Structure 1
């Protein structure tokens, strides 16, 4: 069905024309990636999920169908992957013992940090492990020795000296498999067939960076510097991978005896039921702690988390920024100080040992702006904003500039791209440094910048706060997510030796391995801890993140964005009790909500505890552009004070009443803390809930969509479709064209989507199998295209020439499919289908 390659059961009948909610390794993104589904071939890969109690023998009913079983995931997921055409996949889904058929989604491949984020944060890895207090664990001799951590990613450059320098038994990277080969790209039909081998060498860089955060030991020190690694390569050097491949990697990590698995990848706007999330949950049942990125779509609003992070038993990790960053430095003699800079992507790097020509203030340098001064033969100083870097760059070079310096129009550092190299360096500096340079230029100082190949630490304006990109929960079923947070807003770590050995990357891809490493440290100290214990200990001891949008209010970041907070490894190690569950969904409604927490002692003596509550900021209004509310819920405990003897457990009933001043449609939350008397580590659990009727969130409401459109063309490189409005009286033909599409905007994640067609003259109706658990549209105008030719591909000869309408129905999240009030429906105008 839809060309949203995320969470789509059976089979794809529509395609995404605009920005796709695709899955991606979770580096920070300034905006959702633009990615559309390629043309469906005659055969595709599908994930066939069996009903409870059934297994692959269920396919014995389908001997007359033309399909090939590729892989049986019996141990981690009750299903198989098959290769079949869409019509066959549809028929497989109708077998009695088949629960659902899912299309094998695309996981977009990692890109370099400079290409994907405006934040040029490059903090020392040492700063990050100080934030989580991993360094103190190292001083205690807790380093992850004897613990196996699997990294499912682009592979690991095991030749890197910080990662052991070799591969195989006796090496730090002791296990590993390349599931795909260097040339693999699941989104390219010519490269989509895996070519596996036993060498997980990394040619993409992302996995090596992640592994360095988990456990580098050399020039940089990771969280757990003595762990053994399993390297599971699921991406080629470039391009995408698939759910099938990731699930094979999860299965192999289990077979190799990994204790912890890290997945710095995911599918945005996702439900917990997708096969990768369910397979990750199964690993935890087998005793493997699974840690995954929450996602980088925080700037697109609430319910933006990723699978497998939203899996029920997976530890989903949000990202915070560090207080400072390391950047390349330029010395400014007129200021007698070094300033940090970042080279704009595709520009030549400033050469070490050189200096710029004197700076001259050009202005904003957009097309219609006047030039503030003559920059011929000089370095143009420009302020960021209004128009693109490309426009500013080309303007400066056209006026004779030999270099370009752009300074930020908001606090902090930045980076970017989009230019075409004109042979002139262009660099980006902070707002503060740029303003100082401009002041000097205004008084005739004409400063220069000297490049000596040095670096400098630069303060970050959001240090200690949630990274701007980190995704919001909760999951679409209101499950509490994320679980915890860790530093990810720009991390300096290992990359393949051929790429220079170290680099800065930013995203929840970087926060997740901090937590995977932390889990390894806890297992080093207490090898018998189960995955649930690890998550509880890390979440209970986490420290709250302040709300950064208005620090003067003194509020805490939303619980559904930070979880219980930034992990504190020392307090997790020293915890003398646990509070379970650590994350609670209190559901929807307008009245009080009651839930239970269990406090269990690990102490050697009796101890008294007092329960307290602190609210976190609530998000209000639109999913994509939420407002915020500091309304304080009223919380009561029964009991509020209790004494625990060694090994004893006690249950506390917690009642949360959001209050009438909290706007309807808000997602609210708070922190419940059990404080021990006489000292010791406090224990925290967090909760989130929805104020109002969750079923009232509209799905199909949009001023321009749904609507019919004609398909103009598909870009052969990007696979994106171009559409146009219909012409009055226009006739469509499946054989001759033009092709017809219904463009549908999903305002919230629907639990199901159904498509049918009705003959306007005969009342004949054609129905297609429904899809379950779809993602929402990422941006305010992003749609998916339901292509008529794809519907016909599933049901050949179903639509005869004549006058037809299309109907789209969506079941709201948590809706009852038997209740008509829980569905929304749109029917198109009549269109004419010719021979």
Structure 2
């Protein structure tokens, strides 16, 4: 990747549906790479040494050549798997030596080590920009009526394994299928295997029988606290809770604890391994993750579960070895299953790597259908059911309300809210229960502020005016941690406003808690996609996420020092669940490899409906839908592939998708084909219109909303009969939806449904396509800016054409003079409407002979007596330029740039140069993603989309800094 100094800022902000504010003389950057630290891929053979002799290994050759070149470095990790990665991770004393290393004959590739954030549980009720009613654009008939939750155990038999009833895992368990013989490796924060449900020990014969600690407690993702590896992956710090929870989801033994009697993992007989890649705080370098993946494979793992990730716009992750390693693991027969991410509440096109690797399975989250609840009685004689991890202790508590219960500013989201509530109480706060309306901020915020104010009993109720359906169900935050233990904060939630009516009745309102009467209550919107689950596809149109598993409000093991159990949410929980299902399928199909099992799991998954609605969720959110473990194991027929990534319309014109149906029965089977429509999706679901004229700075422009457009599909035969043991290919005639606006970036989706005459076999093959001709779309905004002429105005049209303006806000129409001093600077606002591979802002002569794709001035207006610059030209990309202002070479998504320029320029080698006074124009250009850019393509101006701005006359020389 090549970039000018501000490109790091652009890279950071380009994932947001907002503006980038940059200034060429003063700006900040943030990098996700570790300083001076690199992964180096080496030739595995025996290359020639400096003297022409052969060496024993590529490692030796590298070390000798580096020593001869006086390059000083330390080795973090050595990789010895030629089929995965052969090389090492190093930290240089002098970062300038990286260039010399890249040119060594032993070196195949060099990647900066990236810091991967520590995995965290999602906040299930967190607001994202799409929290407005999903139904805003939908017919009323498609909406579902909200109702009070029902009990899932009317016979009184409490079943905490509701995720297993959702997926059919319980049916497999009843047949004795529990993952025996399959080795599952978890890469995470370590595990508290002292937990009885996790076996209580580590090593041969134990539940957790293999693994390694690659980092130690003190490691924080930097090499300031270097890894301290050892052979035991035990994590006793409660901040290492994540791995204990994820491993329990896969393989916890049946719990005998009275509160959670009968709790069991997805594949309790699988052989489990933990590879600790995070310390007690901070993140982890991707060099650590690679080392763990290789070690897990060498230890014989059949599947690797990674609830770890970094948001990346593109599946083409050439800046990381993940793609190479995952491909090699798949070839070895090791499946990689990774989390899609927890950013679905904010915007689509936002999934995470390493799940983006072509051969990895990216996992989305579905809400659990059940939630553990208990009863309480209020002083007005009403019985109220509340959800909580544990029942409140027997006794009577006086209720105290946060604020008035109506103002959003008093929803318990500040310390002042809780301090004011504490002031209403007298005496011991443990005798009170805090009543808080939820919906304005995450329940974890309420929990933390309540604890700080001295309350240890909290019950929330939903804001019934909030359209976010996910706050209507029961919610339980993770245990509140203080130091290396959990504080006592009893936290309950209700699904109605009874307690609000009671506490505001003007009477002394109390809540009485008696002997627990446990029920598993039906969770509002259970079985539907979690709002936090990240939405695809990637910006290079790859099919991610690929399928979903239960991940919302999942009960599992937790470090003993923090109570031993917790309810957490996230694709972090869905990922190990799916890894457990993989183990179940693998245990019954030992000859199948990762791709074949992924196909089986996807094709037998079940589409989900949109939260609060009755129509099917876009495939960009759910992938193939909710995994059906029982069907994946028991179906006789097979349908492949497991997914269809159709791409833009121009790709579909040249390729006809098809599926293959295989009849594995010993007699003919008839199959019926139908088309099931799913909702569409747009990156800008409202185009440039938004109620209230919010303007282009508002994140509400980018969010997941249902859109009523879909493809049509036909089959040569809607019913086919396939002889015993035979397969048949079925071509699909798919016509994309017509008339969609490219700048809104529409994505259509649906399912090919195949029903067989073998009982209740029904397969669903998801497809996803881009609803326009991408290569013919405009790269830049092209609307006339408005309604305001001041470019700083928030009401600027998001699809406006690039605009050159004065720093005071006035647009430059054709010509303007600038001193580039103080408040007399040049500014540029531009919107890139399509993902691009290359982007440049260059300064060119005012009289340049160039016909751009778009003019930023009236080409019929001419100016004479312009100041000729004495600055020399540099030929770059087929155009003579004076210098570069901004440059980005890497796949980047759509974004807005709001850039202030004070005269800094860079030559073709990206060294800073001075600017001489004269008359200039700013040239903006881009090359689309997917173009194979070599020197010939790069230097052909016709391969670029270009915008040429008005004349900016610079009245003084600006020296290089």
User: Which residues in structure 2 correspond to 1:207-222 (within 5 Å)?
Assistant: 207-219=243-255, 220-222=263-265
User: Which residues in structure 2 correspond to 1:521-670 (within 5 Å)?
Assistant: 521-548=584-611, 551=613, 554-589=614-649, 594-622=656-684, 624-660=702-738, 664=742, 665-670=745-750
Paired position in structure 2 for 1:104: 113
Task: Tell me: CA distance 1:112–1:322, structure 2 relative to 1, closer, same or farther (3 Å).
Answer: closer
Please tell me the root mean square deviation across aligned C-alpha atoms, in Å.
4.7
Task: Tell me: CA distance 1:803–1:508, structure 2 relative to 1, closer, same or farther (3 Å).
Answer: farther
1:237 to 265, 280, 283: 280
1:642 is displaced (CA, Å) by 2.2
**Contact 2:342/2:532 (CA < 8 Å) preserved in 1?**
yes
Paired position in structure 2 for 1:83: 91
1:589 is displaced (CA, Å) by 2.0
Paired position in structure 2 for 1:71: 78
Paired position in structure 1 for 2:753: 673
2:404 to 363, 366, 374: 363
Task: Tell me: CA distance 1:810–1:164, structure 2 relative to 1, closer, same or farther (3 Å).
Answer: farther
1:281 aligns with 2:327: yes
**Contact 1:10/1:100 (CA < 8 Å) preserved in 2?**
no
For 1:143 and 1:488, locate their aligned partners in 2 and report how far apart those are by CA, in whole Å: 20
Paired position in structure 2 for 1:272: 315
Compare 431-440 and 463-472 and name the one that shifted more.
431-440
Compare 87-96 and 566-575 and name the one that shifted more.
87-96
User: Matched residue of 1:430: which SS?
Assistant: strand
**Contact 1:125/1:493 (CA < 8 Å) preserved in 2?**
no
Give per-residue Cα distances to partners, 1:614-671, cap 9 Å, x unaligned: 1110002428225432224220123433222233121111011123265543100110
Task: Tell me: CA distance 1:787–1:535, structure 2 relative to 1, closer, same or farther (3 Å).
Answer: farther
Give per-residue Cα distances to partners, 1:767-802, cap 9 Å, x unaligned: 89986654548xx8899999999999x989x32555
For 2:196 and 2:332, locate their aligned partners in 1 and report how far apart those are by CA, in whole Å: 33
User: Matched residue of 2:545: which SS?
Assistant: coil
1:564 is displaced (CA, Å) by 1.5
User: Matched residue of 1:356: which SS?
Assistant: strand
Paired position in structure 2 for 1:429: 460
1:273 is displaced (CA, Å) by 3.0
Paired position in structure 2 for 1:502: 565
1:827 is displaced (CA, Å) by 10
Paired position in structure 2 for 1:46: 38
Task: Tell me: CA distance 1:753–1:265, structure 2 relative to 1, closer, same or farther (3 Å).
Answer: farther
1:813 to 926, 929, 940: 929
Paired position in structure 2 for 1:375: none
1:13 is displaced (CA, Å) by 7.3
Compare 455-464 and 53-62 and name the one that shifted more.
53-62
1:407 aligns with 2:437: yes
Compare 481-490 and 82-91 and name the one that shifted more.
82-91
1:173 aligns with 2:208: yes
1:144 is displaced (CA, Å) by 0.6
For 2:905 and 2:113, locate their aligned partners in 1 and report how far apart those are by CA, in whole Å: 17
User: Matched residue of 2:576: which SS?
Assistant: helix
1:523 is displaced (CA, Å) by 1.5
For 2:111 and 2:841, locate their aligned partners in 1 and report how far apart those are by CA, in whole Å: 17
**Contact 1:318/1:485 (CA < 8 Å) preserved in 2?**
yes
Paired position in structure 1 for 2:139: none
Paired position in structure 1 for 2:228: 195
**Contact 2:905/2:912 (CA < 8 Å) preserved in 1?**
no
Task: Tell me: CA distance 1:400–1:499, structure 2 relative to 1, closer, same or farther (3 Å).
Answer: closer
2:583 to 479, 501, 520: 520
2:359 to 299, 302, 313: 313
Give per-residue Cα distances to partners, 1:353-381, cap 9 Å, x unaligned: 554324468424769x8xxxxxxxxxxxx
**Contact 2:117/2:309 (CA < 8 Å) preserved in 1?**
no
Task: Tell me: CA distance 1:268–1:248, structure 2 relative to 1, closer, same or farther (3 Å).
Answer: same
For 1:391 and 1:408, locate their aligned partners in 2 and report how far apart those are by CA, in whole Å: 16
Task: Tell me: CA distance 1:163–1:678, structure 2 relative to 1, closer, same or farther (3 Å).
Answer: closer
1:446 to 482, 488, 508: 508
Question: How does the TM-score come out when normalised to structure 1?
Answer: 0.79
Task: Tell me: CA distance 1:40–1:254, structure 2 relative to 1, closer, same or farther (3 Å).
Answer: closer
**Contact 2:820/2:903 (CA < 8 Å) preserved in 1?**
no
Paired position in structure 2 for 1:378: none
For 2:870 and 2:941, locate their aligned partners in 1 and report how far apart those are by CA, in whole Å: 26
Task: Tell me: CA distance 1:742–1:761, structure 2 relative to 1, closer, same or farther (3 Å).
Answer: farther
User: Matched residue of 2:656: which SS?
Assistant: strand
Give per-residue Cα distances to partners, 1:551-571, cap 9 Å, x unaligned: 1xx321011211111111111
Task: Tell me: CA distance 1:278–1:427, structure 2 relative to 1, closer, same or farther (3 Å).
Answer: farther
Instruction: Name stretches of at least 5 consecutive residues in structure 1 with no aligned partner.
Output: 2-8, 23-34, 344-348, 370-381, 711-725, 732-739
For 2:449 and 2:916, locate their aligned partners in 1 and report how far apart those are by CA, in whole Å: 49
Compare 202-211 and 814-823 and name the one that shifted more.
814-823
For 2:829 and 2:521, locate their aligned partners in 1 and report how far apart those are by CA, in whole Å: 46
Paired position in structure 1 for 2:421: 396
For 1:630 and 1:693, locate their aligned partners in 2 and report how far apart those are by CA, in whole Å: 19
1:428 is displaced (CA, Å) by 4.3
For 1:162 and 1:782, locate their aligned partners in 2 and report how far apart those are by CA, in whole Å: 52
1:88 is displaced (CA, Å) by 3.0
User: Matched residue of 1:509: which SS?
Assistant: helix
1:694 to 774, 782, 789: 774
Task: Tell me: CA distance 1:102–1:161, structure 2 relative to 1, closer, same or farther (3 Å).
Answer: same
2:195 to 154, 160, 164: 160
Task: Tell me: CA distance 1:594–1:38, structure 2 relative to 1, closer, same or farther (3 Å).
Answer: closer
Paired position in structure 1 for 2:489: none
Give per-residue Cα distances to partners, 1:439-493, cap 9 Å, x unaligned: 2345444321345695765543321111001111112221222221111011110
1:609 is displaced (CA, Å) by 1.1
Task: Tell me: CA distance 1:426–1:572, structure 2 relative to 1, closer, same or farther (3 Å).
Answer: same
1:535 is displaced (CA, Å) by 0.5
Task: Tell me: CA distance 1:699–1:468, structure 2 relative to 1, closer, same or farther (3 Å).
Answer: farther
1:151 aligns with 2:191: no
**Contact 2:122/2:342 (CA < 8 Å) preserved in 1?**
no
For 2:394 and 2:755, locate their aligned partners in 1 and report how far apart those are by CA, in whole Å: 57
**Contact 2:41/2:86 (CA < 8 Å) preserved in 1?**
yes
**Contact 2:547/2:623 (CA < 8 Å) preserved in 1?**
yes
For 1:337 and 1:472, locate their aligned partners in 2 and report how far apart those are by CA, in whole Å: 40
**Contact 1:749/1:773 (CA < 8 Å) preserved in 2?**
no
User: Matched residue of 2:647: which SS?
Assistant: coil
For 1:337 and 1:446, locate their aligned partners in 2 and report how far apart those are by CA, in whole Å: 17
Compare 459-468 and 661-670 and name the one that shifted more.
661-670
Paired position in structure 2 for 1:298: 344
**Contact 2:400/2:425 (CA < 8 Å) preserved in 1?**
no
Compare 593-602 and 799-808 and name the one that shifted more.
799-808
User: Matched residue of 1:357: which SS?
Assistant: strand
Task: Tell me: CA distance 1:156–1:224, structure 2 relative to 1, closer, same or farther (3 Å).
Answer: same
**Contact 1:118/1:416 (CA < 8 Å) preserved in 2?**
no
**Contact 2:307/2:571 (CA < 8 Å) preserved in 1?**
yes
User: Matched residue of 1:299: which SS?
Assistant: coil
Compare 751-760 and 575-584 and name the one that shifted more.
751-760
For 2:366 and 2:345, locate their aligned partners in 1 and report how far apart those are by CA, in whole Å: 14
For 1:433 and 1:684, locate their aligned partners in 2 and report how far apart those are by CA, in whole Å: 34
**Contact 1:117/1:415 (CA < 8 Å) preserved in 2?**
no
User: Matched residue of 1:131: which SS?
Assistant: helix
For 1:744 and 1:328, locate their aligned partners in 2 and report how far apart those are by CA, in whole Å: 55
**Contact 1:21/1:269 (CA < 8 Å) preserved in 2?**
no
**Contact 1:479/1:584 (CA < 8 Å) preserved in 2?**
no
